[in-house]
Chain A
Amino acid sequence: MSWKVWLPLFLFAGFLGLAAYQLTQPKDDFVESRMVGEALPYFDLPPATGGVEGAATTDFQDGTPKLLNIWASWCLPCIAEAPQLERLKEAGVPIVGIAIRDRPEDVAQFLARHGNPYSRIARDDLSEVQLAIGSSGVPETFVIDGRGYIRYQHIGDIREDDVATLLGELEAAR
């Protein structure tokens, strides 16, 4: 007996500590990709709409770091990040878009309304590339270095203060 009777109290104290700590932590539901640091998996996708080019893994191996933007015309936060993508484009960053489960006419309409910051836009109707690079939602943005390796993942829409971070990561990937 003796010391054993203290055991429940210690276990409970451990639970209290853990619960109290977790209460103070901001809750995010982000699932980070394990593919950061890995080579971009192979893909070769057709264009998402008329007048744009599709994208393939080989497009990322030309020596220039690029952004890979996972988005969709039906996604509301994607509208919110459109101005930031525009700024990144103006800073000279090539942005490759991959439209998830999207229709060509919707993509065209989105581009007409919110601008087109993309150098290429591919369509991914089965979320194949999204799953292959460990992305779990739209929008997400990946920094890909000039050899085609994934260097950084940004989850959620790009806010104004994220632009500098992304530019920094692009610079680091050079």
Chain B
Amino acid sequence: MIAELGHAALWLAAALAALQMASGFLALRAAEGSEIAALVRPSAIVQGALASFSFAMLLWLFAVTDLSVKLVAANSHSLKPLVFKLSGTWGNHEGSMLLWVTVMSLAGALIALIERRLPDRTMNATLGAQGLVALGFYAFLILSSNPFERLPVPAPEGLGLNPLLQDIGLAFHPPTLYMGYVGLSVAFSFAVGALLTRQVTPDFASAMRPWVLGAWVFLTLGIVAGSYWAYYELGWGGWWFWDPVENASLMPWLAATALLHSTSVLASRDALRVWTIMLGVVAFSMSMVGTFLVRSGILTSVHAFAVDPERGTFILILLGLFIGGALLLFALRANTISEGQRFNATSREGALVFNNVMLSAILAIVLLGTLYPLLTEAFDVRVSVGPPYFNPVGAIFAVPMFAIMAIGPLLRWRQDRVERIRPELSLFAALVLVALIGFGIVANVAILPLLGLALGIGLAVASFLPLRGRSLKRVPLATWGMVVAHFGIAVALLGMASESAFSREKLAAIEPGQTTQVGPWSVTLSDVVPVAGPNWTALEGRLSASYDGSEPVALTPQSRRFWAPPQQTTESALSTRWNGQLYAVIGDRSPDGRWQLRLWWKPFVTLIWYGGLLVALGGALALVGRVITDVRRRRIAARIVERRSDREALA
């Protein structure tokens, strides 16, 4: 019964999405104040409620482990802890798509409820576009990925007791990514709405900005978490592999970063209208392309989710409809939208345009490198594109971007002179130069990490310069957000460069009792003992590691063997200090009785993820700052209206 309720709610939600789409678009043609326009907002709100209800029903099915439902039987198990039963709801293709469309319809409902800045026509067009996108996903769910499908005969027990999937990180990180994608879908709807009515205004940008910021924060968190997870779980100390699946999450982030900045320009200065619209479409298309690449299985390496060409076809059709349609609309309308306010090359806008172009170029490189193997495969040639391509080619655009990023926030809007910021500029240049000479000549660091270290140091200091000479209490929250996010980028950059320049690796084969050295650490293998878990046995290395002769710390890396299903995993052990991490993995025993140890000393590697978290924090600060300003402005506006009506009443 529960499953049928959920299924019915899903159909109804789809019907309302259709209504929202139809009324939204028809209202565009209808006369001012027509009745059809009155349908748009309510249908968005009811659709949000129905989708949430449907998702709640699926949660319920997983909570009680209703084994007559195919999805539950395939992905859950009655013995799982409740939290993992619940997280299993979105740990599979169907459930995750339902979560996606639910979050999307809730976002639509939220816009319908609170967004009052935009002209009604643009608002209706935006909600119409939102309805169209949602309708596509409902169709996908209902026609090819129905989460509520019943089994003819209930299964005696569920299949999903894989311990590897019962990870608290794995439980909560996929939703993070969907939130990011949904935020970008909202930005997309705004862009389409504005294109339809040709009202690309600062108000449009302010209405869109919180959604872009939110999406960007979630995408950042998702990438940071995924990178750290790969780092400690894969057992080789790598934190970014330029794997197609990783690139699929990086591309929307790059586009969202560019969009975020050009939205700011549009909101504050009414410039870059066409460019912002373009980025709004591109950002969402990158999340759709990523989803397609991951779920259709057309790229080697992508084994995420059960690969199914039918689903791939469906996503591709949606992709073609949404993005192709939007790009067609863009091509038809772009010439009728003026570019907006003008500005000087030496200005805040100039710097932002520069970095937008650089970000777009990096995005193009990542997209090219990811898709190129697919292209050559069509001609039966297989090639691989990896770090030796992405790193240097990306750096061509990243290096000037970081340099401009350091000085851009110091410039004034519209028009400025370089002379005015000469002291700050000199400070940045001096820092970069000293670091280049220091690390380059003294430490003999390779070129890419050298540039990373120098720019990271310069940027870390420069990111705080916009606060110079200002009363810290009166600096708006959004400005703090920018400072923190830029500083976070510098911190992450330093971590990446340091990891690449100063990591030490030691592969050792030692007997219990022996000691080996890696960097400043001396690591002693005291013993290797068998340990057992609920469904695995492991060999656990007992290590004691001493940093530069100080008090030793204990490390216990494991080599685990699961028996159902039979598989072997390595559990790395980490020892974190303020200045880096010791990373230890135990391998097999060689025939002569010695144990394989893999040890890495990675100075300042943790800065990569702390930097990423700072970036997300900066985004969150900016978001809160913008929302507070909005609320305040709205209150003031309401008060003015009130006073005016009072005055009129008095008169």
Contacts and interface: CB of A to CB of B under 8 A. Distances in A.
Task: Indicate whether A and B are direct neighbours in the complex (CB within 8 Å).
Answer: yes
Interface of A: 1-2, 5-6, 8-9, 12-13, 15-16, 18-23, 25, 27, 29, 31
Given A5-B331, A8-B330, A12-B323, A23 B375 contact: no
B382 interface: yes
B330 A18 contact: no
B328 A16 contact: no
A16 B316 contact: yes
A33 to B, nearest CB: 12
Given A27-B297, A27-B298, A29-B300, A18 B328 contact: no
Given A9-B324, A23-B298, A23-B309, A18 B378 contact: yes
Given A1-B335, A18-B375, A18-B378, A23 B323 contact: no
A22 B378 contact: yes
Nearest to A19: B316
A22 B327 CA distance: 23
Closest 6 CB pairs of A and B: A9-B327, A5-B334, A5-B331, A22-B298, A6-B331, A8-B327
Nearest to B339: A1
Nearest to A4: B334
A102 B371 CA distance: 39
A31 B282 CA distance: 34
A2 to B, nearest CB: 7
Give the interface SS of chain B, mostly helix, strand, loop or mixed.
Answer: helix
B298 A13 contact: no
B567 to A, nearest CB: 16
Interface in B293-345: 296-298, 300, 309, 312-313, 316, 319-320, 323-324, 327-328, 330-331, 334-335
A27 B373 CA distance: 13
B330 A23 contact: no
B292 interface: yes
A12 B327 contact: yes
A1 B334 contact: yes
Contacts of A1: 334-335
Given A2-B335, A8-B330, A19 B292 contact: yes
Contacts of A18: 371, 374-375, 378
A15 B370 CA distance: 12
Nearest to B316: A19
A95 B363 CA distance: 52
14 contacts: A1-B335, A8-B282, A8-B330, A8-B331, A12-B323, A16-B319, A19-B296, A19-B374, A22-B374, A22-B378, A23-B298, A23-B309, A23-B316, A31-B382
A29 B303 CA distance: 13
B588 interface: no
Contacts of B328: 9
B324 to A, nearest CB: 6
Contacts of A8: 278, 281-282, 327, 330-331
Contact of B313 (A2, A23, A29): A23
Contacts of A20: 316
B312 A23 contact: yes
Contacts of A13: 324
B498 interface: no
Interface centre among B323, B331, B378 (most CB of A within 10 A): B331
A6 B327 CA distance: 8
Nearest to B300: A29
A18 B378 CA distance: 8
B396 to A, nearest CB: 21
A25 B377 CA distance: 10
Contacts of A9: 324, 327-328, 330-331
A5 B330 CA distance: 7
B374 to A, nearest CB: 6
A65 B205 CA distance: 73
B285 interface: yes
Nearest to A7: B331
A166 to B, nearest CB: 22
A5 B296 CA distance: 30
Given A5-B331, A16-B319, 16 more contacts: A1-B334, A2-B335, A5-B330, A6-B331, A8-B327, A8-B331, A9-B330, A9-B331, A12-B285, A15-B289, A18-B375, A19-B296, A19-B298, A19-B316, A21-B378, A27-B297
Contacts of B327: 8-9, 12
